[in-house]
Amino acid sequence: MSPLFTFGRPQIDPNTPHLTHIHPTAAMPGGEVELHGTHLGPYQSQLPHITLNDVTAPISLSRSNHAIIRIPEAAFPGDLIVHRNSSSSNSLPLRVATLMAEGLHPVANPAVDARGHLYATLSGPRGQLVPVSVFSIDTRAPGEDFPMRPFVRDLLNPTGLAIGPDGLLYASSRADGTIYRIAPNGAFSIYAEGMGVATGIAFDPDGNLFVGDRSGTIFKIACIPIPGPGDPLVLGVPDTRAREIFVFATLEPSVAAYHLAFNDAGTLFVTGPTTSSSQSILAIDRDGNTSVYFSGLGRPQGMAFDNEDNLYVAASYRGQRGIVRITPNREATLAVAGNDLVGLAFLEHGACALATRDAIFFLELGVHGRPLF
């Protein structure tokens, strides 16, 4: 702040801007963040100058007690400061996501295993086979910036990803309605087929696999014993054991069960994004009974639970786009501001991975994810 001097004593300029809080406190590059405080508007017909780590943040709106800024594309986590005339405000911290990997095509949540390997798809247009279908990103590599390597080749249109109770990666293919089980060397074998236009997949707390079909049908694949050490099934040998597969729930035809997630109680949550500006998250209990859990979201997509049973979903809410947090009391607020998000996955130490339509970002969100098994 710039002091004024009266009789040799410094005084605070009454027009000095002051920040009280930021909403949300985390953002993607390109996301919009609201600043609240006093003296944030134009001064002598000039807009304030707002910086994040000394990088200028473009201003979308500037009022006396409210301003909106867009996070610069090359921004890093740091302090926001409002500069007006010759005065500067106090600083407030902002968490900013940084790029992990690009050149991808996620269409749902990434998945992360117990070794810290994050899996993301290069899904491609339906029916088009790409050379590398799934990439692995090491989130624990010492001294390296998240190295990425090809993991699965020649799997047609991988869509939903999930880590099973055996610690292995499972993937749906919306092209052939098949669920694939993927070995540590990237070899894949058929786990189940005949799932329609298979999209979202998720394991419940008991190890049963649920598969969403774009028509609104949700299939349940009953859990079978996990292979023990040395079982050749782990090495990618086709699994010929019979599984019980049945229709668990049928949603309205307009609801495509594209994204699935379970909470600790075993309730299944479902979203199916459309062009509507007001959509719902559906909750399905263990008996297959469906109810509306939360409504009023725009294009809700991938979901994940934290360890306090808060639900995080990629969506827009009240005109703000990003990751929306919904508490167990069904109170919603924007947790991360950002555009083009399709899903997320929680990592270690309170971090998370955010998936856009062509990249994965890393964010120190300060939230711990729900243990899957």
Task: Evaluate whether 251 touches 268 at the Cβ level (below 8 Å).
Answer: no
Residue 1 domain flag: no
Distance CA(297)–CA(281), nearest Å, equals 8
Residue 184 domain flag: yes
Residue 371 domain flag: no
pLDDT at 144: 72
Residue 9 domain flag: no
Over residues 175-227, the pLDDT tens digits come to 999 999 999 999 999 999 999 999 999 999 999 999 999 889 999 999 876 66
pLDDT at 278: 87
| Confidence class for position 48, pLDDT limits 50, 70, 90 | very high
Whole-Å CA distances, 44 to 11, 36, 193: 21, 20, 68
Residue 206 domain flag: yes
Residue 5 domain flag: no
Distance CA(127)–CA(138), nearest Å, equals 29
Are both 44 and 87 inside the same structural domain?
A: yes
| pLDDT at residue 5 greater than cutoff 50 | no
Are both 176 and 301 inside the same structural domain?
A: yes
Residue 2 domain flag: no
- Cα four-point dihedral sign 247, 249, 251, 257: negative
Are both 171 and 318 inside the same structural domain?
A: yes
Are both 92 and 116 inside the same structural domain?
A: no
pLDDT at 230: 52
Percent of the chain with pLDDT over 90: 81
Distance CA(292)–CA(307), nearest Å, equals 22
CATH number of the domain enclosing 193 = 2.130.10.10
Distance CA(52)–CA(96), nearest Å, equals 10
| Confidence class for position 1, pLDDT limits 50, 70, 90 | very low
Domain boundary among 51, 76, 96: 96
**Helix (H) or strand (E) run with residue 269 in it:** strand 268-271
**Three-class secondary structure of residue 277 per DSSP:** coil
pLDDT at 141: 80
CATH number of the domain enclosing 72 = 2.60.40.10
- Domain limits at 110? 98-364
Task: Evaluate whether 212 touches 160 at the Cβ level (below 8 Å).
Answer: yes
pLDDT at 237: 53
Distance CA(237)–CA(285), nearest Å, equals 34
| pLDDT at residue 143 greater than cutoff 80 | no
Are both 217 and 248 inside the same structural domain?
A: yes
The number of angstroms, rounded, from the C-alpha of 126 to the middle of its chain's C-alpha atoms is 23
Domain boundary among 30, 65, 96: 96
Among the residue ranges 44-48, 63-67, 324-328, 335-339, the one predicted with the least confidence is 44-48
Beta strand pairing call for 148-153 and 158-163: unpaired
Listed residue (23, 24, 26) closest to 350, CA to CA = 26
The number of angstroms, rounded, from the C-alpha of 34 to the middle of its chain's C-alpha atoms is 21
Are both 144 and 220 inside the same structural domain?
A: yes
Residue 373 domain flag: no
Provide the domain count of the chain: 2
The DSSP result for 353-372, as a single string, is EEEESSEEEEEE-S-PBPP-
Domain boundary among 73, 96, 119: 96
Are both 287 and 217 inside the same structural domain?
A: yes
Q: HSE-up of 192 (CA within 13 Å, CB side)?
A: 26
Are both 122 and 53 inside the same structural domain?
A: no
In this structure, the number of other CB atoms found within 10 A of the CB of residue 94 comes to: 24
| Confidence class for position 12, pLDDT limits 50, 70, 90 | low
Are both 173 and 200 inside the same structural domain?
A: yes
Over residues 221-271, the pLDDT tens digits come to 998 766 655 555 544 555 656 679 999 999 987 778 899 999 999 999 999
Q: HSE-up of 123 (CA within 13 Å, CB side)?
A: 25
Are both 312 and 164 inside the same structural domain?
A: yes
**Three-class secondary structure of residue 233 per DSSP:** helix
Distance CA(29)–CA(99), nearest Å, equals 9
Q: Which amino acid is at 126?
A: R
Structure tokens at 278: 């007001």
DSSP state of 348: G
| pLDDT at residue 355 greater than cutoff 60 | yes
pLDDT at 10: 53
Q: Chain-wide mean pLDDT for the chain?
A: 91
Distance CA(297)–CA(330), nearest Å, equals 13
Are both 279 and 296 inside the same structural domain?
A: yes
pLDDT at 274: 78
In this structure, the number of other CB atoms found within 10 A of the CB of residue 260 comes to: 27
The DSSP result for 130-173, as a single string, is -SEEEEEEESS-TTSS--EEEEEES-SSEEEEEE-TTS-EEEEE
Are both 20 and 152 inside the same structural domain?
A: no
